[in-house]
Amino acid sequence: MMEEQARIMQALSGVTLAGHSVQGGMGLPPPHGHEGTDGDGRKQDIGDILHQIMTITDQSLDEAQAKKHGLNCHRMKPALFSVLCEIKEKTGLSIRGAQEQDPPDPQLMRLDNMLLAEGVSGPEKGGGSAAAAAAAAAAGGGAENSIEHSDYRAKLTQIRQIYHTELEKYEQACNEFTTHVMNLLREQSRTRPISPKEIERMVGIIHRKFSSIQMQLKQSTCEAVMILRSRFLDARRKRRNFSKQATEILNEYFYSHLSNPYPSEEAKEELAKKCSITVSQVSNWFGNKRIRYKKNIGKFQEEANLYAAKTAVTATHAVAAAIHNSQANSPTTPNSGFQMKDEEFQLDSAESKNSLLTNMFTAVLILSVFISLPSVLILSVFISLPSVLTLSVFISLPSV
DNA sequence: GCGAATGATTTGAA
DNA sequence: TTCAAATCATTCGC
């Protein structure tokens, strides 16, 4: 180390000081405390200064500051500064880093775009509402969704707040650090040549470092949004059983259309409306119901009986109303309006239809006891006999 | 905690 | 596109 210093000092002592010859004694007044007029005295003087510079790091801070101040005030300082300028020009340090303009990072662009799309980095109001609305639509309608919707937005706002707070902190730290470095460079520019380009380059380096930290923040924020979104959008996670009433409505339809349990689009819409669910949920329900019923008819027998009885009551009420109005419209069977779509289902369910018929008769008998109406009247509903004709026989009403 | 029930999704056929 | 069938993921009742 000391050898190297000595070598540099030796080399420098012989260099031309920006057009002033050290040896020649032109223009440079003698330093303080060294009144010698000969070349050796000046050489010694420069040697001392350089030695002071080289050993400055070995000293304490106060000592160094004092030395630094001494050097700054030294009358040889301009000459030394010129030397440094010359050296720098020769080594071409100032040229380096001229082509520093990086193209925008594609990953950063992706992150920025995503944060903007999710309403994290965009304008404050309505941020992410489109995403939340889409998620709500995917999960199905209803008041529950508006709760989930607001829940999603609240969580997104939370993420947004954290993101902005952290971003602000990073920016503040970046600015503080940049200011600090620039002050240092300005300070140093008094003792060594620093071009504005160099300062610019240094600022660029600092900004790049901080932007890489920012990218990590953006990445984490994106991950948080993705998790939130997936949790919100994944309907399976949020599955709720339909209300008892909705299930009853769907079951009633299913068992009253057992020979062809394929509701039309209109019927699906109607059911969806009644059950406060979506049409696709109705489709899902019927899909599940058909397959599960077909797979285990025995298991659903009780349920089938129950709904058959229910249908009977409904039909009875209809007939009673018909009697009341003295109308002669023949009621139709519940299944009459449907065509068989699925032969397999038809075959498989034939067995169940037979047993269902037996159960229906049982239900009719029970009903006739409970609602004090002739069994045949109720039966007529099920076996598609003209009610009025049947009634005319059993309750002595004139047939139309 | 476990098994059944149930709503949703995926896959493949028509 | 719709449906059956298989499967997944969650809820519910014990």
Protein residue at shortest CA distance from C1' of C9: A236
Q: Does residue A236 reach within 7 angstroms of strand C, measured from its CB?
A: yes
Q: Does residue A285 reach within 7 angstroms of strand B, measured from its CB?
A: yes
A300 CA, C8 C1': separation in Å? Answer: 23
Could you tell me how many residues make up chain A?
Answer: 400
Q: Which of A12-16, A22-26, A185-189, A296-300 has the highest mean pLDDT?
A: A296-300
Residue A351 has pLDDT above 70, yes or no: no
Protein residue at shortest CA distance from C1' of B14: A342
Q: What is the pLDDT of residues A205-240, one digit of tens each?
A: 888 888 888 888 888 887 777 666 666 655 555 678
Q: Which nucleotide is nearest to A282 (CA to C1')?
A: B7
Q: Does residue A350 reach within 7 angstroms of strand C, measured from its CB?
A: no
Q: Does residue A245 reach within 7 angstroms of strand B, measured from its CB?
A: no
pLDDT over 90 percentage in chain A: 13
Residue A17 pairs with which residues in a beta bridge?
A: A20
Q: What is the pLDDT of residues A48-75, one digit of tens each?
A: 777 877 776 777 778 877 877 777 777 7
Q: Does residue A284 reach within 7 angstroms of strand B, measured from its CB?
A: yes
Q: Which of A10-24, A137-151, A203-217 has the highest mean pLDDT?
A: A203-217
Q: Does residue A96 reach within 7 angstroms of strand B, measured from its CB?
A: no
Average pLDDT value over all residues in chain A: 67
Q: Which of A48-62, A73-87, A129-143, A276-290 has the lowest mean pLDDT?
A: A129-143
Which among A263, A233, A260 is positioned nearest to A249, based on CA atoms? A263
Angle, CA A269 vertex, CA A321 and CA A301 arms, to 5°: 65
Q: Does residue A325 reach within 7 angstroms of strand B, measured from its CB?
A: no
pTM score of the predicted model: 0.43
Token pair listed for A281:
């949920």
Return the DSSP state at A58: G
Identity of residue A345: F
Half-sphere exposure of A163 (CA within 13 A, CB side): 27
How high is the pLDDT of residue A282?
94
Which letter, b or e, does each residue of A292-321 get, where b requires 16 or more Cβ atoms within 10 Å of its Cβ? ebbeebeebeeebbbbbbbbbeebbeebee
Chain C positions within 7 A of any protein Cβ atom are: 2-12
The C-alpha atoms of residue A310 and residue A140 are separated, in whole angstroms, by 29
Identity of residue A82: S
More confident residue, A309 or A264: A264
More confident residue, A338 or A165: A165
In this prediction, residue A150 has a pLDDT band, given cuts at 50, 70 and 90, of low
Spatial CB neighbours of A375, under 8 Å, sequence gap ≥ 6: A364, A365, A368
Token pair listed for A26:
């032109």
How high is the pLDDT of residue A219?
83
How many CB atoms are closer than 10 A to CB A272? 22
How high is the pLDDT of residue A135?
47
A281 CA, B3 C1': separation in Å? Answer: 25
CA distances to A17, A68, A72, A127 from A77, rounded to whole Å, are 11, 11, 6, 60
In this prediction, residue A291 has a pLDDT band, given cuts at 50, 70 and 90, of very high
Matching residue, tokens 């420098």: A12
Q: What is the pLDDT of residues A28-50, one digit of tens each?
A: 444 444 444 555 666 677 777 77
CA distances to A80, A260, A263, A291, A355 from A297, rounded to whole Å, are 103, 15, 20, 10, 10
A287 CA, C2 C1': separation in Å? Answer: 10
